[in-house]
Structure 1
Amino acid sequence: METERELSDKSPKNSQVLERYINLSSTVNFSYILLCSWEAFAVTFQFALYNGGPSSMVYGCILVMFGATAVAASLSELASIDPTVGAQYRWSANLSPWAPKFFGLLQGWITIFAWIINCAGPPSIISNIISALATFNYPSYEPKSWHIMLMMWPLIIIPFVMNLWFRQILNTFETIGGVLHFVFFLVSMITLLVLGKGSTNEFVWNNLVSDQSGWNSPGVSWGLGLLTVSFSVLGFDAVLHMSDEVKKVETRVPRSIMIACITNAVMLFAFVLTLLYRLGDLEQVMSSPLPLIPVFYQATGSKAATNFFVVMPALILFVVQFNALASVSRLVWAFARDKGLPFSNFFAYVHPKFKLPINALGLVAVISFLISILYVISTTAFNAIISLQAMGLCVSYVPPIVFILVRKLRGDRPAYGPFKMGRYGVAVNIIAIVYLIFIIIWLPFPQFLPVTGSNFNYAGPLLGVVILGAIADWFISGRKRFQVPVVRKML
């Protein structure tokens, strides 16, 4: 059954509707690329070297494979029931047995903040990769914070322009990105296996590092090292926010989420094992601002080859930025359409020529641009803002999974879509919730001791500010303004 909102959207008088043009391969590749698990790990694994080390990387990968798959399956089932751009906030509003409208608005603010901040992540990572390569090739070069900021700007502007003017090449763009994601993975793996300097089984499987970050606690160090791995398999809900533009959405979006999660988790595990077995001199790797550089330089002995292998993840991250802007702009548009945002009519506007939520896209790009300026003002403030993305995303997954689990246990679950877990659903939902709570517990911990203003983990306090802001919005005007169309088959 279609909702009144959905029927209204199909009216020719309603211009606030998006065109369905994304095919199956692009739907799968969208999530497959956006997770970019092995690339994300490759350029951030220095944090795991200091906390947990190889033990946290290897066994953490195994835990993440099962935990993330349970979360992905839970979201896929929800996506098949109600494939909607709003995803988490709409599911919470329609499924919550307690104050559904409140939880929908709260969920919306958390999800939007996490994803908008996420859009500032790839440009900063790519810029730091470029800076590290510049230092590697020209040792006299001294990177400055304003260099990073200036490099971030085109990495925001170019994907914005591509989203605006080249929307119809998305299918081709995603296919090329998916091929490169896999080909670069194979080339990197084969190169390290053939040329890399070997490590022992003892180093890979039984080496728990707990004395490098100041924590001096094996349990805490292992848990903190796990975050680097878990962060690499996070964000599979991005394709959900493209739901209004996907053909046969009830089957293709769940399939995309599952394929992306499982394939990326497997690729990540294979890359972690290969990396650890061919890590080379550990001291050189740990002393580098970008450990991937000494890993490939020790393996190949060539600066040109090292540049190539380090640039490969950066290219995929650039495609990720294109996808992230597309996904988050649709999320902002949907939340505005449901009156979740101030100035909702403005941000819910769909341009008749571009057939895009152009104002929402502009908002995401402008905020990303402003966040990049923080890098010059204070790298601590910049890192504080960026730290919110992982925690916000993990928290955003919990309520809808809890609510669907409660519905199942009470016996009033909604009618399933084509993707359903059947008798395994309750167990999978429980595993997903336990896994997310376990990850969330570690996310506010600082990576290093003693804690200072520059290394303090601001994720917890910032999330608290977002939640308090959402609650304030509820009491000021949100409870009257916010509207969520009810999906009848969820009743």
Structure 2
Amino acid sequence: MASIALSKQHQHSPLELERYINLSSVVNFGVIILASWESFAVTFQFALTNGGPSSMFYGSILAGCGVSCVGFSLAELASIDPTVGAQYRWSANFAPFAPRFWGLIQGWLTVAAWCFTCGGPPSILANMISSLAMFNNENYVPKAWHTSLIMIATILLPLAFNLRFQRLLDGIEIIGGILHIILFIVVIVVLIIFGPRSSPSFVFDTLVSDQSGWNNSGVSWGLGLLTVTFSVTGFDSVLHMSDEVKKVHTRVPRSIILACTVNSVMLISFVLVLLFYIGPLEALNNSPLPLIYVLYGATDSKTATNVLVALIAVVIFCALFNIFASVSRLIWCFAKDKGLPFSEVFAYVHPTLKLPLNALILVGSIVTALSLIYIASATAFNALISLQALALHVSYVLPILFMLIRKIRGPAPQYGPFKLGIFGIPLNFLSICYLLYVLTWMPFPTLLPITKDNMNYAGPIFAAVIIAAVADWFLHGHRRFAMPVKRYE
């Protein structure tokens, strides 16, 4: 890689990114990268066998309220210290003890979570494309290598734009934002006008607890909740673009709040309408993408179904552009603070492109490797990307917890333009309660009996990352990690 070879030549060049992101772009960035109603629309099949309608509807309300509390809490922190490192820098700055230790552990956790998160949208897009192919050609049977190649194909354009045409990302975000709103209205109207109506008792009183092997209704409801929480996770991505946002102390917090609240309202509304017009569940249970048959059942038109599903895929595709940008900046920042092995390589900023070139190449390489792993074992691929939700939720807990301790014990930090005031402690407390409740269910297997194929590997992989981070701290990290710590006394 020529860029890596050049890093030594430019190791003394300024490690600065250019501030060019305006208000509309940063708002669209946060809203689109979640794409909550679209994410739920293409993954809700997992909730059909765990929890069912009851978990989907009431879970969307819980997730919407919970993630909004978390969003407000992180927005306050972003107003105090809008930094690309976000969670790991906040954990260090507000930790009651051992700040550099907590910073390094949090950094490993957040970087690992986001690197594996990059494999999520390509796999969703590959599932959508394969499902549409089967929908239009009943004889088509997707192979593992088909899925892998589709995943690799979906990352080529986002990677190229981030490498050479990053200023055009504003236009892509605007397109994605417009589609996000218009498609929501169109799909809602189509379902209400043409869809078969379900009874209120089906929507509000139906709890599915006998199809996944779990006979405990509470466990089934909790597991079904995870599909909803997945759809509203990842709003911290806009934080990792902080060094390129103008008027960052006000605009990044605003983007976080809008991303959480707008997406939560749209998600709750979509779930409610979907359940009222979902049609017979028997036709959906064995489908890799039930949304296709929900829309086909309402429109009775393959053309309309293909167009609507394809446009939803476009929105998710637009989010992939933002994910590449965000994760590459996070890796760059952590490397700049010497949190990673070979930090001098990944802290390199290209002098002409004004972007963390090697970090961006690393992200593309990781997603490509994950895509190739899918050929060998879909189980191994799913095991790796299962880390994302668990690790990201933990990454939200630590800085909010440390901030809450600081508010209670003092001294209070010097707040930025956005301050929660008297609502700060209650919102921080509710955020932690919500995150811990969701984290309770994440290590559970979704199906019983447990086999190597349906095993939930999120817990073991999470533990492996923590062990690696702690080992790094004791071996090299305590000497290498050079993060500037502000104590905000």
TM-score, structure 1 length as denominator? 0.96
How many Å separate the matches in 1 of 2:440 and 2:329? 30
How many Å separate the matches in 2 of 1:211 and 1:309? 32
Report if the CA contact (8 A) 2:197-2:279 is conserved.
yes
Partner of 2:451: 452
How many Å separate the matches in 1 of 2:375 and 2:13? 44
- Matched ranges for 1:157-306 at <5 A: 157-306=156-305
- Matched ranges for 1:120-131 at <5 A: 120-131=119-130
Partner of 2:405: 406
2:21 aligned with 1:22, yes or no?
yes
Partner of 1:359: 358
Q: State the shift of 1:14 in Å.
A: 4.8
How many Å separate the matches in 2 of 1:330 and 1:75? 18
AA in 1 matched with 2:376:
I
How many Å separate the matches in 2 of 1:63 and 1:281? 26
- Matched ranges for 1:29-178 at <5 A: 29-178=28-177
Q: Give the length in aligned residue pairs.
A: 478
How many Å separate the matches in 1 of 2:115 and 2:421? 34
Deviates further, 478-487 or 130-139: 478-487
How many Å separate the matches in 2 of 1:22 and 1:94? 26
1:4-39 deviation line (CA, Å, top 9, x unaligned): xxxxxxxxx852100000000000000100010000
How many Å separate the matches in 2 of 1:354 and 1:78? 30
Alpha-carbon RMSD: 0.9
Q: State the shift of 1:346 in Å.
A: 0.9
Deviates further, 269-278 or 309-318: 309-318
Q: Secondary structure at the match of 1:182?
A: helix
Report if the CA contact (8 A) 1:92-1:107 is conserved.
yes
How many Å separate the matches in 2 of 1:412 and 1:14? 38
Partner of 2:330: 331
Q: Secondary structure at the match of 1:323?
A: helix
Q: Secondary structure at the match of 2:284?
A: helix
Q: State the shift of 1:282 in Å.
A: 1.3
Q: State the shift of 1:289 in Å.
A: 1.4
Report if the CA contact (8 A) 2:161-2:168 is conserved.
no
AA in 1 matched with 2:86:
A
How many Å separate the matches in 1 of 2:314 and 2:448? 34
2:478 aligned with 1:479, yes or no?
yes
How many Å separate the matches in 2 of 1:444 and 1:413? 36
Partner of 1:10: none
Q: State the shift of 1:165 in Å.
A: 1.1
Q: State the shift of 1:170 in Å.
A: 2.1
Q: State the shift of 1:116 in Å.
A: 0.6
AA in 2 matched with 1:270:
S
Structure 2 residues not aligned, in runs of 5+: 1-11
Structure 1 residues not aligned, in runs of 5+: 1-12
- Matched ranges for 1:361-380 at <5 A: 361-380=360-379
Report if the CA contact (8 A) 2:119-2:370 is conserved.
yes
Report if the CA contact (8 A) 1:337-1:345 is conserved.
yes
Report if the CA contact (8 A) 2:13-2:351 is conserved.
no
Runs of 4+ off more than 3 Å: none
Partner of 1:432: 431
Partner of 1:6: none
Q: Secondary structure at the match of 2:389?
A: helix
Identity, % of aligned positions? 59
Q: Secondary structure at the match of 1:237?
A: helix
1:122-171 deviation line (CA, Å, top 9, x unaligned): 00110111001101100001100000001111112211101111111122
